[in-house]
Structure 1
């Protein structure tokens, strides 16, 4: 990566990897990605974590990163927001714990926490100290193709 990117280098790399994955290519190792993009391991990991949060890739312990196996290509954010409707949660109801969400979506705790922070920032969830997260408002209905 020879030029500075106004979007953030890791985002540019994430989009390039997303395109490669959509074309059916497999993911090279982190070391190979570092060499091909001429960036640090931290930048590569940020790109991969971004793709993980979107449900495009998943971490495979002992193997590295691979395209997500699930047929559900919606982002983790969309799937976690849909929990409110899928579980028939109402305003004030307890939202599932981080551990349950990690298990349910096969995502890392970091990715789940990132989405939970987004949901809190968007006003969907509220954190009650000692009690966990509760539904603050219901999400607007979405239309999917």
Structure 2
């Protein structure tokens, strides 16, 4: 299925394809990424979708924008906090549809066990994805995936 055929998350599929190219070495550290126009043609999507995918990769620290050079693959992996790793994992589950709108998220206790972290770390991860608007807290009931706009 091409990214164009999905209702939501085409940018997620594009970002994942680029992640695989980086991980496999097809796109080496320091090498430029294809231009937005090339990626638009390759994935049959509009420029905003490509920009969203590239923005996600930049937020993850896999690519960076260099003046006069465009977007390039970063030379080394950035240092990440544990809560960032957990938040990224939950965000990916939501974006891939593994956690659908209205689904309950795992509790803090479950995240503590699953990721072997302190409760405060699990709480920070949940706060980060809640701040991004991906989840909402229902007091007394837990946290749930937000409805997509």
Q: TM-score, normalised by structure 2?
A: 0.47
Higher helix residue share: 2
